[in-house]
Amino acid sequence: MAELENPNVMPNLITFLSSLLQKEAESNDVNRRFKAQKVSVFHGLSRPTISIQNYLDRIYKYANCSPSCFIVAYVYLDRFAQRQPSLPINSFNVHRLLITSVMVAAKFMDDMYYNNAYYAKVGGISTTEMNFLEVDFLFGLGFQLNVTPNIFNTYYSYLKRETMLQQCPPSIVESSLSLGRSLNLHLCFNEEDSTHQNQQVAV
């Protein structure tokens, strides 16, 4: 996975991840009017003014964690959404979910990482709030933090493919747009299915 260390790969991937989360949040913002969504500790009283892209760029710049942590954080967000269907990502909670998922990924994966107080500063919230978010996020995930290589690669290749499609010259974008429509762009890999394919890693 040396390509993750390539300085050109991550910024593009971060940009794509931002747009993906933004689409997801906006679509759930619309749904909120029709379907009840629970208010959680992740829910801000107002919509944060910083864009998702700028927020994620900021985390990427200051967290200084292994690049893999961003892929893992994305897996966590997806797991969280699947386990907590009444708490979909929307514009009011996406920032808090993001900072928490990256922090938890870094704490789980890396031997050296910044503490909650540091992440709180990066995320623009208080340490007390950061700590609450962490515990709620962990229980929301049922503490399932482990990501098998198979799951990792499924998410990573999805992000990589979509990131590349976004950067293609117009003629190719044309064809990929129609492809994009047929692909389900939502965050929804069925982990149960993919774990079966790789029995030696995840039985």
Partner 1 sequence: MEKPRQISAMEAFEKLEKVGEGTYGKVYRARERATGKIVALKKTRLHEDDEGVPPTTLREVSILRMLSRDPHVVRLMDVKQGQNKEGKTVLYLVFEYMDTDLKKYIRSFRQTGENIPVNIVKSLMYQLCKGVAFCHGHGVLHRDLKPHNLLMDRKTMTLKIADLGLARAFTLPIKKYTHEILTLWYRAPEVLLGATHYSTAVDMWSVACIFAELVTKQALFPGDSELQQLLHIFRLLGTPNEQVWPGVSSLPNWHEYPQWSAQSLASAVPNLDSDGLHLLSEMLQYDPSKRISAKKAMEHPYFADLSKAYL
Contacts of 95 (CB under 8 A, 6+ apart): 44, 48, 50, 52, 55, 123
| Stretch near partner 1 under the rule CB under 8 A, chosen from 12-20, 52-60, 135-143, 164-172 | 135-143
Nearer to partner 1, 188 or 203 (CB): 203
Question: Using CA atoms, how far apart are residues 102 and 14, in angstroms rounded to an integer?
Answer: 12
Among the listed residues 155, 172, 160, the one whose alpha carbon sits nearest the alpha carbon of residue 76: 155
The least CB distance from residue 104 to partner 1, in Å, is 7
Q: Which of residues 57-86 bind partner 1 (CB under 8 A)?
A: 65-66, 68, 72
Q: How many CB atoms lie within 10 A of CB 171?
A: 8
Among 7, 85, 111, 184, interactor with partner 1 by CB under 8 A: 111
Amino acid present at 144 = Q
| Stretch near partner 1 under the rule CB under 8 A, chosen from 17-25, 48-56, 111-119, 166-174 | 111-119
Q: Which two tokens stand for residue 2?
A: 């040396």
Nearer to partner 1, 11 or 142 (CB): 142
- Residues 159/74, Cβ–Cβ less than 8 Å: yes
Question: Using CA atoms, how far apart are residues 197 and 202, in angstroms rounded to an integer?
Answer: 9
Q: Which two tokens stand for residue 125?
A: 């919230």
The least CB distance from residue 176 to partner 1, in Å, is 28
Nearer to partner 1, 34 or 143 (CB): 143
Residue with tokens 């993750």: 4
Nearer to partner 1, 52 or 159 (CB): 159
Among the listed residues 169, 34, 28, the one whose alpha carbon sits nearest the alpha carbon of residue 94: 28
Letters for 144-173 (x = contact with partner 1 by CB under 8 A, - = none) are: xxxxxx--x---------------------
139 binds partner 1 (CB under 8 A): yes
Per CB under 8 A, residues contacting partner 1 are: 1-2, 4, 65-66, 68, 72, 104, 107-113, 115-117, 127-128, 130-131, 134-136, 138-140, 142-149, 152, 200-203
